[in-house]
C-alpha cells in the first residue's frame, strides 16, 4: 500500500512513481495552482486550460488519492460496496436494493457516503478492492455473498482495509460478520410443507458455491434424513428466472414430480407461478373442449410454491405466494453499524447471527391439492 500523500497525488503505473500536480504543471509550463484549479473544476482558469490539464494528467497516469482533504483528516468518509452479480442481477434483486437502503441510512447518520460499484465477476470485484486500497478511496468495505474458498476476507487483511461481512461466518475469522439463520429458516419452510402432507420437495437455488445456499441445502438434506419426504431435488439456476421456469417444467414431467417448490428469489417464484398457471389453464381449456374439465382445476392443481424472498410480487400474485420475510433494510443498517464500530476502533465479536426470518403463509401453500395426497 502506498503512503498517504498530498491531495491530488497518486501512483503512476506507467512511471512506477507517484505523479504529482507539479509534474503536470512542469509538463505544461503553468503553475501548480492553475493545475489544481483545473483538476477540481474551479473558476479562475479557462476551459482550454482545463482540457489540456486533464489530458496531460491522463497521459501521465495521474489519478486522485481520496484521502483526507479536509482539516488534515486521513478519512475519506466513504464506505465501499462491490457485490459481484450477473448482468441485471442487482436491479432485479429486491432484497439487495432494500439492504443497500439500510446501509445508506446508517452511514449517512455518521456523515459517511456509500461508494457502490457493482461487478460482473469475483475477479473484477477483487481488482476493485485493490484499486480502492491503492488510491485510499474508502475507509472500509462491506462484503456480501461469501462463497467456498472465498479469498476476499484474507485480501482485506492483506490490503489493510477494514471490512465486515454480511453473511458467513468467515471461516478464517479475518473479518467480523452478521449472518441470517438460513438453516433455521429452511427448517421452518420444510416443517410447514411437511404438515401439509408434501412428500416430494424441490429447491431451486441460485448459486451452489454461495455460503448461504450451501447452508440451506444442508438443512434440506438433514431434514430429509428424518424420513418425512419421499424425495428431494436441488437444482441451480444462476439466479436466472427463465432457467428456474425451465427446471420447474422439466421436474413436473417426472413420473412422480415434486409437489412443492422452494425458490431462491421472488422473481423466480413469480415467473414459475405464471408459467405453470398458463400451462394449467391451457390444459383445462383443451379438456373442456373434449371430455370436460378434469380434477379441481386452477389454482388447486398447482404445486405448492415458497419463495426465500418476500416482496409486493408475492403479495399480489394469484395465488399469493408463501414467502420468507426478512427485513433487508434493518439487516443493512446493522451491518453498516458493525462496520462503523470497526472504523471507530471498537472491539467487535467475530460472528453474530441475527434476524431469524419468519414465514408468511399465503395461498400458494394453504391447500393440499389432489395430486399431493
Residue (of 33, 5, 6, 24) closest to 62 by Cα position? 24
Residue (of 231, 223, 233, 195) closest to 215 by Cα position? 223
pLDDT of 121 strictly over 50: yes
pLDDT band at 371 (very low <50, low <70, confident <90, very high): very low
Asked if 229 and 202 count as a contact pair (C-beta separation under 8 A), the reply is no
Task: Enumerate residues 6+ apart whose C-beta is below 8 A from 51.
Answer: none
Q: Give the start-to-end residue ranges of the domains of the chain.
A: 10-60, 78-180+329-357, 182-326+359-372
Residue (of 1, 20, 24, 25) closest to 9 by Cα position? 20
pLDDT of 203 strictly over 50: yes
Q: Tell me the average pLDDT of the chain.
A: 85
Residue in the block written with cell 407461478: 273
pLDDT of 2 strictly over 90: no
Cα distance between residue 67 and residue 139, in whole Å: 9
How does pLDDT run across 309-334, given as a tens digit for each residue?
999 999 999 999 999 998 899 999 99
Identify the pLDDT of residue 63.
Answer: 73
The DSSP H or E segment spanning 156 is helix 152-159
Same CATH fold, 182-326+359-372 and 10-60? no
Residue (of 293, 334, 306, 373) closest to 105 by Cα position? 334
User: Which fold, 78-180+329-357?
Assistant: Rossmann fold (3.40.50)
> Could you give phi then psi for residue 163, rounded to 5 degrees?
-150, 155
User: Which fold, 182-326+359-372?
Assistant: Rossmann fold (3.40.50)
Identify the pLDDT of residue 226.
Answer: 86
Identify the pLDDT of residue 13.
Answer: 41
- H helices, E strands: number in the chain: 12, 14
pLDDT band at 247 (very low <50, low <70, confident <90, very high): very high
Determine what percent of the chain is predicted with pLDDT higher than 70. Answer: 84
pLDDT band at 11 (very low <50, low <70, confident <90, very high): very low
Residue (of 139, 138, 172, 167) closest to 155 by Cα position? 172
Work out the average pLDDT over 164-169: 92
Work out the average pLDDT over 71-98: 76
Cα distance between residue 123 and residue 308, in whole Å: 28
> Could you give phi then psi for residue 216, rounded to 5 degrees?
-65, -40
Identify the pLDDT of residue 198.
Answer: 94
Highest-confidence range of 8-17, 91-100, 162-171, by mean pLDDT? 162-171
Quote the DSSP letter at residue 2.
P
Residue 318, C-alpha cell as written in the block: 394469484
Q: Domain 10-60 sits in which CATH superfamily? A: lambda repressor-like DNA-binding domains (1.10.260.40)
Cα distance between residue 57 and residue 369, in whole Å: 69
Q: Which of 31-40, 83-92, 199-208, 355-364 has the lowest mean pLDDT?
A: 83-92
Identify the pLDDT of residue 157.
Answer: 93
Cα distance between residue 55 and residue 196, in whole Å: 68
pLDDT band at 138 (very low <50, low <70, confident <90, very high): very high
> What are the b/e assignments for 192-229, b being 16+ CB within 10 Å?
bbbebebbbbbbbbbbeebbbbbbbbebbeebeeeeeb
pLDDT of 82 strictly over 60: yes
86 vs 63, more confident: 63
Residue in the block written with cell 381449456: 285
pLDDT band at 349 (very low <50, low <70, confident <90, very high): confident
Identify the pLDDT of residue 339.
Answer: 96
The angle that helices 211-224 and 182-195 make with each other, rounded to 10 degrees, is 40
pLDDT band at 354 (very low <50, low <70, confident <90, very high): confident
Tell me the Ramachandran region of residue 167: left when phi exceeds 0, alpha when psi lies from -120 to 50, beta otherwise. Answer: left
Identify the pLDDT of residue 246.
Answer: 97
Identify the pLDDT of residue 45.
Answer: 86
Amino acid at each position: 500500500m502506498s503512503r498517504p500523500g498530498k491531495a491530488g497525488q497518486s501512483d503512476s503505473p506507467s512511471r512506477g512513481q507517484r505523479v504529482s500536480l507539479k509534474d503536470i504543471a512542469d509538463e505544461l509550463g503553468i503553475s501548480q495552482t492553475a493545475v489544481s484549479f483545473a483538476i477540481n473544476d474551479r473558476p479562475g482558469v479557462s476551459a482550454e486550460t482545463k482540457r489540456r490539464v486533464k489530458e496531460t494528467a491522463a497521459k501521465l497516469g495521474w489519478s486522485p488519492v481520496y484521502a483526507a482533504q479536509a482539516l488534515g483528516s486521513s478519512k475519506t468518509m466513504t464506505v465501499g460496496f462491490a457485490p459481484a452479480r450477473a448482468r441485471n442481477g442487482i436491479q432485479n434483486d429486491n432484497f439487495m436494493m432494500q439492504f443497500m437502503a439500510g446501509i445508506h441510512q446508517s452511514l449517512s447518520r455518521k456523515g459517511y457516503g456509500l461508494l457502490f460499484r457493482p461487478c460482473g465477476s469475483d475477479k473484477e470485484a477483487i481488482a476493485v478492492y485493490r484499486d480502492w486500497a491503492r488510491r485510499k478511496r474508502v475507509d472500509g468495505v462491506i462484503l456480501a455473498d461469501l462463497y467456498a474458498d472465498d479469498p476476499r476476507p484474507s485480501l482485506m487483511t492483506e490490503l489493510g482495509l477494514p471490512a465486515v461481512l454480511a453473511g458467513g461466518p468467515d471461516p478464517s475469522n479475518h473479518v467480523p460478520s452478521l449472518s441470517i439463520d438460513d438453516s433455521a429458516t429452511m427448517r421452518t419452510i420444510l416443517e410447514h410443507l411437511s404438515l401439509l402432507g408434501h412428500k416430494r420437495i424441490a429447491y431451486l437455488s441460485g448459486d451452489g458455491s454461495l455460503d448461504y445456499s450451501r447452508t440451506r441445502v444442508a438443512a434440506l438434506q438433514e431434514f430429509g434424513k428424518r424420513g418425512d419426504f419421499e424425495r428431494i431435488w436441488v437444482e441451480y439456476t444462476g439466479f436466472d428466472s427463465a432457467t428456474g421456469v425451465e427446471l420447474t417444467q422439466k421436474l413436473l414431467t417426472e413420473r412422480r414430480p415434486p409437489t412443492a417448490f422452494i425458490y431462491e428469489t421472488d422473481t423466480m417464484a413469480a415467473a414459475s407461478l405464471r408459467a405453470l398457471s398458463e400451462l394449467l389453464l391451457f390444459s383445462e381449456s383443451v379438456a373442456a373442449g373434449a371430455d370436460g374439465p378434469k380434477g379441481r382445476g386452477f389454482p388447486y392443481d398447482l404445486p405448492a410454491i415458497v419463495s426465500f424472498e418476500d416482496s409486493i410480487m408475492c403479495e399480489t400474485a394469484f395465488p399469493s405466494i408463501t414467502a420468507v420475510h426478512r427485513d433487508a433494510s434493518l439487516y443493512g443498517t446493522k451491518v453498516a453499524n458493525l462496520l462503523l464500530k470497526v472504523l471507530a476502533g471498537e472491539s467487535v465479536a467475530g460472528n453474530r447471527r441475527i434476524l431469524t426470518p419468519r414465514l408468511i403463509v399465503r395461498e400458494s401453500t394453504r391447500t393440499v391439492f389432489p395430486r399431493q395426497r
